[in-house]
Amino acid sequence: MINSLLGAGNALLTVSSQFIHQHPKRITAVIAALLLSGGGGAFAVASFAPDASELPVRELLEPVQALPIVVPADLDLQALRLFRSEITRTSDTADTLLKRLGVDDAAAAAFLRSDATARQVLIGRGGRNVTAETSERNGLLKLSARWNSDTDGKFNRLVLEKTAQGFVSRVESAALTATSHLASGTIQSSLFAATDDARIPDNIATQMAEIFAGDIDFHRSLRKGDRFSVVYETLEGDGEPLRTGRVLSAEFVNNGKTFQAMWFQDPAPGATVTASSAGTANAGSKGGYYTLDGQSLRRAFLASPMEFSRVTSGFKMRMHPILKVLRAHQGVDYGAPTGTAVRSVGDGVVDFAGVQNGYGNVIILQHRNNYKTVYAHLSRINVRKGESVSQSQNIGAVGATGWATGPHLHFEYRINGVYTDPQNIARENVTTPLSDSAKPVFARLAAENRVALASAASMQTGSTQ
Ligand SMILES: [Zn+2]
């Protein structure tokens, strides 16, 4: 896919260069879309496609042979077909669903009531998009619905069709198509408010926070005016988005400092790139996130002991509940509801798991180089002393045990027993160098992602002007 993508990209850049001067924003958006679509689906992306009427138009005058107009003798002028889509509701019966779809057809209703396949897919099941194709007189000709399959990379499609022998139904399996989307936003109140505004799925917002978790603590460090741009995939069946895919590249400007990342899969055999949590295609070989100049973004420590989510994002950093000051307090408190998952920020071994005076239920992890991390006031402990834990492993849950006036996680970072500002915790890189053979491919992909991210950012500039 990379080769065809690069080939198409180069050709487009050449052909389009003369237009870029006149219409830089729109054109880069189009090019970026083409570059990242991998040869298919880009035109289905409605969220950023420029209005066709606003695109530069160039008239081409070439003589063409007129085709004779042939009206087929058997053209049935009555065969007008109407299409209508609806979302199923859990309360639906065959009749209410068909009624909303504009179908008035007793035989179709009888079939839908009795056919086991169609019933199982459509009745008593909310949230599925159903399309009906009807005759002019509202008779059902065809009905179809799509949903996620358990098989990776596939979706299921129900087709119910009118035949000469009456209605028949079948369930088919087909390949999902990945489509790229560009989006951008500015933080006014929270990351999720900004991603909601930009109509970015929650899963993509969380992925972005995780990708930059080594550099930005999304719980504590977001500023009003921070900006982001993101290129991500959705997986579609027959053009209908059915699943959120992976972030392909992203840029985050936090407090004036710009961070960029791009997904890359080193094709070299034996390359030890770490996989992200967001698997889509390419099962088998692994990939990871890199800066656009080829540095791995995998870190020895995550910046935050809680995954950034819609639940945890709404809670601000707290003053110490007992001491009421931040300065005298050797740690960071994360306010979050009791039960919120707490994760290990790095690989290590459990040094302590149990109750200690003010800490309540507490876990202390020993990492390499005499680094320790402390997770206190827990409502639940999931690990035992001596156990090995890996980065991101769920080790317990937020609580209010010990000296705590409300549920929160107290987190500490110690080097050789000395409390250290956790802001510094994530600076250490795990070096995963790119293989030499991957470098040229990486460089070209990085160049394309720069164009795409710049384009996503300019869309926002355009919309706020
Ligand atoms: Zn505390």
Asked if residue 319 has pLDDT above 60, the reply is: no
Q: Is the dihedral of CA 119, 117, 142, 146 positive or negative?
A: positive
pLDDT value of residue 169: 95
Length of the chain: 465
Tokens representing 276 are: 């992200």
pLDDT value of residue 28: 43
How remote is the CA of residue 393 from the centroid of ligand 1, in Å? Answer: 22
HEC sequence for 257-294: EEEEEEEECCCCCCCCCCCCCCCCCCCCCCCEEECCCC
Closest CA to 46 of 206, 239, 176: 239
How remote is the CA of residue 425 from the centroid of ligand 1, in Å? Answer: 17
Tokens representing 208 are: 């972005």
Asked if residue 26 has pLDDT above 80, the reply is: no
How remote is the CA of residue 358 from the centroid of ligand 1, in Å? Answer: 10
pLDDT value of residue 324: 46
How remote is the CA of residue 371 from the centroid of ligand 1, in Å? Answer: 19
How remote is the CA of residue 329 from the centroid of ligand 1, in Å? Answer: 6
Asked if residue 3 has pLDDT above 50, the reply is: no
| Contact between residue 268 and residue 275 where contact means Cβ atoms under 8 Å apart | no
**Winning range, highest mean pLDDT, from 37-51, 315-329, 387-401:** 387-401
How remote is the CA of residue 368 from the centroid of ligand 1, in Å? Answer: 24
pLDDT value of residue 221: 84
Beta-carbon contacts of 433 under 8 Å, excluding residues fewer than 6 positions away, are 296
Query: What's the rounded Cα separation, in Å, for the pair 315 and 41?
Result: 39
pLDDT digits (tens, 9 = 90+) for 74-104: 555 556 888 999 999 999 999 999 999 999 9
End-to-end CA separation in angstroms for the chain: 37
Pairing of strands 388-389, 227-237: unpaired
CB neighbour class for 238 (10 Å; exposed up to 12, middle 13-18, buried from 19): middle
How remote is the CA of residue 333 from the centroid of ligand 1, in Å? Answer: 5
Rounded to the nearest 10 degrees, what angle do helices 439-464 and 24-37 cross at?
A: 140
Query: What's the rounded Cα separation, in Å, for the pair 367 and 116?
Result: 57
Closest CA to 104 of 137, 133, 76: 137
pLDDT tier at 421, thresholds 50, 70, 90: confident
Asked if residue 56 has pLDDT above 60, the reply is: no
Rounded to the nearest 10 degrees, what angle do helices 24-37 and 2-20 cross at?
A: 170
Query: What's the rounded Cα separation, in Å, for the pair 248 and 233?
Result: 7
Whether the model clears a pTM of 0.75, i.e. scores above it, the answer is no
